[in-house]
Structure 1
């Protein structure tokens, strides 16, 4: 199977005064389509830097990044922006919702920016909020919702434009254990039922068993890449 994303010898350096910080060193990974990949590591391990590069939010200092068969490290910023806008979705730890807008309006607004007509945006926003289980809460504002509900709104917004892949940086960090598990189960549904690829970062050991693949980083290096045989077996049997 051809991976949706692959890296070849990706490195990222930051200059701090006269010092050079090697955030990533010679990263070689493949992300298969329609899977949930977890980037695991302690704070400072390089996982956030890596997910930002995979999502085109940052450029590597050296190496190659290929998305859907195209090397995007050679593209202009405008072309990378276009790929992100059409094919990628992003979920952040802080939810990043507009406080004066309802859940529905947050999702609808993102779709209008993406070029959807009023009627298309309305229909798709309702569909996505239903998908994440928020039909009865769609007209509530973020401050009237729990942390878990806010994160589900953020997920609805991220999937609204039908991206091929979603990048989620510590999406469960601000949630209690119950809501964190609910979000992870929603991610699995998006992978298995909607065919979306998800790449997420976390340092929570309780989340690891729900990923198809867990990539462990330490000091900017990939030190382990582990496949979850449970989900791999399901995929081979055609249930995904």
Structure 2
């Protein structure tokens, strides 16, 4: 019964989030602001009137120094947080106005996340980590094994799929996290500083993998970074300074 209810909720969600925001736009913001109150009662303006458009099938980078607001922005774009004011338009709808349950469903079925810490289950193999992600997304049982192997093969880990994270390098762990993110075929992937803990060569390899996914599978990826060496690989770059987009 629970599975049937979950499937019905997913179908309803897909009916709602299906209208294009523009011919090439999958996600956009309108005058997005985010304020935080700190201990002494004063207010910090973390984001100020952010207006951006994310194109389908492109790698977009949000760049900026620590404290520039890029993580705050990606959290709001990914429905993990809400703005103080302004809109986030996804699939033609303002997702900031949806209920928490609807936002949970959007994250589960339509989005995916790759974090700096990789956030893998240490007791599970690479295969089990990807399969677990598919189970959470209610991916059809009979297709899970094929899809899990397919995704690990696409990131070059077909020979390491039965190793646990502790038996892998940092770059391999991040590739498992990417395989898990793409497995349920999300509309958009958010990667928050995915290369921050990696050496330069490994970091470039991970970003080139993102680029391959964009070119081969038409994935839409938004990535934050403070590393200038990553910029030339992006299709589009937005630079943040003190919570604002600058040229």
TM-score by length of 2: 0.89
1:5-154 counterparts in 2 under 5 A? 5-17=27-39, 18-154=41-177
Bigger mean CA offset, 59-68 vs 75-84: 75-84
- Match of 1:186, SS state, is helix
Bigger mean CA offset, 75-84 vs 152-161: 75-84
Structure 1 segments, 4+ long, off by >4 Å, are none
Gaps of 5+ in 2: 1-22
**Correspondence for 1:157:** 180
Residues 29-50 of structure 1: CA deviation (Å, up to 9, x unaligned): 1001000000000000000000
Cα distance between partner residues in 2 of 1:2 and 1:213 = 13
Residues 75-117 of structure 1: CA deviation (Å, up to 9, x unaligned): 1111111111111010000110011100000001111122134
Residue 192 in structure 1 maps to residue 215 in structure 2: yes
Residues 41-87 of structure 1: CA deviation (Å, up to 9, x unaligned): 00000000000000000000000110021111111111111111111
- Alignment length (residue pairs): 224
Residue 211 in structure 1 maps to residue 230 in structure 2: no
RMSD over equivalenced CA pairs, Å: 0.9
**Correspondence for 2:12:** none
Residues 162-208 of structure 1: CA deviation (Å, up to 9, x unaligned): 00100000000011111111111110011111011000000001000
TM-score by length of 1: 0.91
**Correspondence for 2:20:** none
1:118 CA drift (Å): 3.8
Bigger mean CA offset, 212-221 vs 72-81: 72-81
**Correspondence for 1:234:** none
The 1:2/1:71 distance shift into structure 2, 3 A limit, reads farther
Cα distance between partner residues in 2 of 1:7 and 1:116 = 30
Cα distance between partner residues in 1 of 2:96 and 2:163 = 41
Cα distance between partner residues in 1 of 2:44 and 2:102 = 29
Bigger mean CA offset, 38-47 vs 73-82: 73-82
- Match of 2:25, SS state, is coil
